[in-house]
Amino acid sequence: MQQVIDTIRTTLLEEFSAIPIAKLLIAVLVACLAGILISIVYRLTFGGVIFEKQFMFGLILMSMITSTVILAISSNLVLSLGMVGALSIVRFRTAIKEPMDTVFMFWALAAGILVGAGFFVISILATLALGILFTLVTRLGRYIKADGTYLLVVYYSKDAERALRDALQTLPRYKVKTKRLGDEQQELVLELPLNQRQIRQLDQLRAIPGIREVNLVSSHTDASF
Look up residue 118 and give its amino acid: G
- Report the pLDDT averaged over residues 212-220: 74
pLDDT of residue 31: 93
pLDDT of residue 32: 94
pLDDT digits (tens, 9 = 90+) for 40-58: 999 888 876 677 888 889 9
Look up residue 132 and give its amino acid: I
User: What pLDDT band is residue 118 in, cutting at 50, 70 and 90?
Assistant: confident
In this predicted structure, the answer to whether residue 97 has a pLDDT above a threshold of 60 is yes
pLDDT of residue 130: 93
In eight-state DSSP terms, residue 146 is -
User: What pLDDT band is residue 11 in, cutting at 50, 70 and 90?
Assistant: low
pLDDT of residue 224: 40
Collapsing DSSP states into helix, strand and coil, what is residue 176?
strand
pLDDT of residue 40: 93
Tell me which of 177 and 121 has the higher pLDDT: 121
Tell me which of 61 and 70 has the higher pLDDT: 61
Most confident of 32-46, 65-79, 190-204: 32-46
Q: How many helices (H) and strands (E) does the chain have?
A: 9, 5
Residue 137 and residue 152: Cα distance in Å, rounded?
A: 29
Tell me which of 94 and 68 has the higher pLDDT: 68
Residue 46 and residue 49: Cα distance in Å, rounded?
A: 9
pLDDT of residue 23: 82
- Report the pLDDT averaged over residues 97-122: 87
pLDDT digits (tens, 9 = 90+) for 128-183: 999 999 999 887 866 655 556 788 888 888 777 778 777 777 777 888 878 777 76
**Contacts for 164 with CB less than 8 Å, ≥ 6 apart:** 154, 156, 188, 205, 208, 210, 211
pLDDT digits (tens, 9 = 90+) for 173-188: 888 878 777 767 888 8
In this predicted structure, the answer to whether residue 208 has a pLDDT above a threshold of 90 is no
Q: Which residues lie across from 217 on neighbouring strands?
A: 151, 222
Find the radius of gyration of the CA atoms of the chain.
28
Global pTM value: 0.61
pLDDT of residue 133: 93
